[in-house]
Amino acid sequence: MIETLNEVVEKVVAQAKPGEALEAVAVHSADTEIRVYEGEIEQFSAAESQGVGVRVIVDNRQGFAYSGTLDPEAISEALAEARDNATFGSPDEYLGLAEPDGVEAVELDLFKPGLADVPTEDKIAMAIELERATRAADDRISGIESAEYADSIVASAVATSTGLRNSSQETGCFLTSYAMAAEGDETQTGFGFSVGRDFDELDGAQAAEDAAMRATRLLGAVKPETERLTVVLDPFVTAQFLSILAGSFSGEAVLKGYSLFADRQGETVAHPTITLVDDPTRPEAFSATSTDGEGLATRRNVLINAGVVDGFVHNSYTGRRTGTASTGSAVRGFANTPGVGCMAVSLDPGSRTQAELISDIDHGVLIQGVSGLHSGVNPVSGDFSTGADGLMIRNGEVAEPVREFTIASTLQKMLTDVIEIGGDVEHLPMSATGLSLAIGEVTVSGT
Partner 1 sequence: MAGETRRWCLAPSSGDPEPTRGDNVIEPDVLESTINTALATGGEFAEVFAEDRRSSSGYFDDGKVEELTSGRDRGAGIRVVVGDTTGFAHTADLSQAGLAKAAEAAAAAARGGSGGVEAVGLTSQKVDRTISVEIEPESIAKQTKVDLLGTADSAARDVSNSITQVMVRYSDSRRRIQVANSDGLLSGDDQVRTFFAVSCVASGDTGMQTGRESVGHTYGFELFDRYDVEELARTAAGRAVTKLEAVPAPSGTMPVVIGKGGGGVLFHEACGHGLEADLIAKGASVFANRVGEKVAADGVTLIDDGTMGGEWGNFAIDDEGRPAQSNTLIEDGVLVDYMWDHLRARKEGRPSSGNGRRQSYAHLPMVRMTNTYMANGNEDPADIIADTPEGVYIAQLGGGQVNTATGDFVFGMTEAYLIEDGKITTPLREGNLIGNGPEVLTQIDRLGNDFEMGHPGTCGKDGQGVPVGDGTPTLRVTALTIGGTAA
CB of 443 to partner 1, least distance (A): 4
b vs e for 308-342, b when ≥16 Cβ sit within 10 Å of the residue's Cβ?
bbbbbbbbbbbbbbeeebbbbbbbbebeebbbbbb
Count of beta carbons in the 10 Å neighbourhood of residue 382: 17
The mark string for 347-386 relative to partner 1 (x by CB under 8 A, - otherwise) is ------------------------xx-xxx-x-xxxx-xx
Q: Choose, by CB under 8 A, the member of 14, 47, 116, 136 that binds partner 1.
A: 47
Q: Which of residues 335-354 bind partner 1 (CB under 8 A)?
A: 335-337
Check: CB of residue 384 under 8 Å from CB of residue 414. yes
Site string for partner 1, 285-314 (x = CB under 8 A): ------------------------------
Binding test (CB under 8 A) with partner 1, winner from 407, 411, 428, 432? 407
Of 142-171, binders to partner 1 (CB under 8 A) are 142-145
Q: How far is the CB of 180 from partner 1 (least distance, A)?
A: 5
Question: Minimum distance from CB of 423 to partner 1 (Å)?
Answer: 30
Does 256 engage in binding with partner 1 (CB under 8 A)? yes
Of 98-106, 254-262, 350-358, 430-438, the window that binds partner 1 (rule: CB under 8 A) is: 254-262
How many residues sit close enough to partner 1 to count as binding (CB under 8 A)? 80
Smallest gap from residue 137 Cβ to partner 1 (A) = 17
Q: How far is the CB of 325 from partner 1 (least distance, A)?
A: 20
Options 46, 116, 355, 399; binder of partner 1; rule CB under 8 A: 46
Distance CA 198, CA 426 (A): 18
Whichever of 376 and 396 has its CB closer to partner 1, that residue is 376
Q: Are 383 and 248 in contact (CB under 8 A)?
A: no
At 324, phi and psi to the nearest 5? -115, -130
Our finding on whether 77 is near partner 1 (CB under 8 A) is yes
Cα(114)–Cα(263) distance, rounded to whole angstroms? 48
Stretch in the footprint of partner 1 (CB under 8 A) among 109-117, 271-279, 346-354, 437-445 = 437-445
User: Are the C-beta atoms of 369 and 188 separated by less than 8 Å?
Assistant: no
DSSP-assigned letters across all residues of 213-276: HHHHTTTT-BPPPPEEEEEEE-HHHHHHHHHHHHHTTBHHHHHTT--TTTT-TTSB-S-TT--E
What is each CA distance from 143 to 37, 40, 139, 185, 222, in whole angstroms?
Answer: 9, 14, 11, 14, 22
Binder of partner 1 out of 42, 203, 209, 348 (CB under 8 A): 42
Q: Which range of residues in 37-45, 152-160, 283-291, 414-422 is near partner 1 by CB under 8 A?
A: 37-45
Give the span between the Cα atoms of 236 and 440, in whole angstroms: 18
Q: DSSP H helical segments within 103-148, as ranges? A: 120-136
Q: Which residue in the set 4, 45, 324, 351 belongs to the binding site for partner 1 (CB under 8 A)?
A: 45
For strand 363-371 and strand 227-233, is the pairing parallel, antiparallel, or unpaired? parallel
Does 40 participate in binding partner 1 (rule CB under 8 A)? yes
51: closest CA among 96, 83, 119, 4? 4
Closer of 144 and 157 to partner 1 (Cβ): 144
Of the residues 238, 289, 409, 431, which one makes contact with partner 1 according to CB under 8 A: 409
Secondary structure class of 324 (helix, strand, coil): coil
Contact yes or no for 287/246 (Cβ under 8 A) = no
CB of 108 or CB of 331, closer to partner 1: 331
Closest CA to 386 of 412, 362, 402, 404: 404
Among 15, 69, 152, 243, binds partner 1 (CB under 8 A): 69
Beta carbon nearer to partner 1, 255 or 435: 255
Among residues 79, 405, 85, 42, which one has the least CA distance to residue 221? Answer: 405
| Residue 76 found at the interface with partner 1 (CB under 8 A) | no
* CB of residue 192 to partner 1, shortest distance in Å: 15
What is the per-residue binding string for partner 1 in 173-202, x denoting contact by CB under 8 A?
-------x------xxx-------------
> What part of residues 387-406 is at the interface with partner 1 (CB under 8 A)?
387, 389, 403-406
Tell me the Cα Rg of the chain. 24
| Minimum distance, C-beta of residue 49 to partner 1, in the bound complex (Å) | 6
